[in-house]
Structure 1
């Protein structure tokens, strides 16, 4: 991987969040990704996405949210979680460390939810959802489709990468909740992707290039 990686704590209303920022020498855009409800950045797609996209000229910020550093086992509800997410994105776009260019926010599972809910508030140019949890397993009646559609309703490009056997919502279920089926791509796996998920990396890279002509 080209570029350098720094680790910085950013103050939020819930206490500090931690940003692991990898950036190339010349930044064309920034992708901000955060974890799911388990609170770990060890999702198998994160490291290869970071390596590939930094080589393409994207800065990649992997974020440990404030609720994790505060020792909570589960994410708080949106009225608490969202205000603690927005300062992290603001920090990346302001001050002497300011990262210009295209801003794409996203995350894994619960991280995708917070990105969708706040994209229009953070000034994001796009949203990337990895394994969006459309509903709890076996409970399609408990839908989070309204959250998923929020970026689209604000005119923000959305892309969802969903495992073919995801019990939190199959690709077909997710497509049914969006105005364009092309917003959803299928990938090998369920809610978790397998190790070395080359299809996920290739799909995200293709989407970024298609939307913003970054090669």
Structure 2
């Protein structure tokens, strides 16, 4: 099931309301909640038994209507929209928050606060933007060094916002686990000579995410 919500914040819902937990996923800076990547993650996770809710930040919802590209909202507004979505879901069942790139970053910044006061079990980052493209010195890892909430980061080995050889030098909390997508870029697309396909890496990402959620529920 893929149901579009008509709430002020646009949402897409996949999976059964009887699922043991909801994965609340936000999109990245440049692509909407119904991008091929987000659709593959949501549908794949729903197929293996999870309820998945995708939502759009204000700037992307406006962009969908106007057709004109605009920069992301500032972080306080992004966090507020995410928080409102968590509040609407956490009263119903356990929630795992996360998202693609910027969406995952926002989730990771909120994770400790929300896990302390709401039914939020963990965080999944699908391609974390460890630094802006071409600016490896501008790290976005300060909070990840002290993260208390179980956090899974799925990262392409050749991600331009954090390659494996770069990320392995960073100081990250023991609560942050990394799973490398072979030969993958920021959206896990592998090189042609790797022998892998984009679909295979996306399927693997669904499997890793689902297994992480199962561990959260069983702990």
User: TM-score when scaled to structure 1?
Assistant: 0.81
Q: Of residues 59, 74, 78 in structure 2, which corresponds to 1:77?
A: 74
- In structure 1, list runs of 5 or more residues that go unmatched: 11-15
Spell out, residue by residue over 1:37-74, the C-alpha distance to the aligned partner (whole angstroms, 9 max, x if none). 11322454433332332233311001112221133612
Taking a change above 3 Å as real, the CA distance of residues 149 and 7 of structure 1, as seen in their structure-2 partners, is farther
- In structure 2, list runs of 5 or more residues that go unmatched: 64-68, 190-197
Partner of 1:126: 122
Measure, in 2, the Cα distance between the counterparts of 1:88 and 1:165: 32
Per residue, is there more strand in 1 or in 2?
Answer: 1
Measure, in 2, the Cα distance between the counterparts of 1:33 and 1:23: 13
Secondary structure of the residue that 2:9 maps to in structure 1?
A: strand
Q: Of residues 164, 168, 173 in structure 2, which corresponds to 1:179?
A: 173
Q: Does 1:137 align with 2:142?
A: no
Partner of 1:13: none
Measure, in 2, the Cα distance between the counterparts of 1:143 and 1:110: 14
Question: Alpha carbon RMSD of aligned pairs, Å?
Answer: 2.4
Spell out, residue by residue over 1:73-128, the C-alpha distance to the aligned partner (whole angstroms, 9 max, x if none). 1212212221122111212234xxxx31x310001111011101122343321000
Deviation for aligned residue 1:34: 1.1
Q: Does 1:168 align with 2:164?
A: no
Partner of 1:17: 9
**How many pairs align?**
198
User: TM-score when scaled to structure 2?
Assistant: 0.79
Q: Of residues 83, 88, 93 in structure 1, which corresponds to 2:90?
A: 93
Measure, in 2, the Cα distance between the counterparts of 1:181 and 1:169: 19
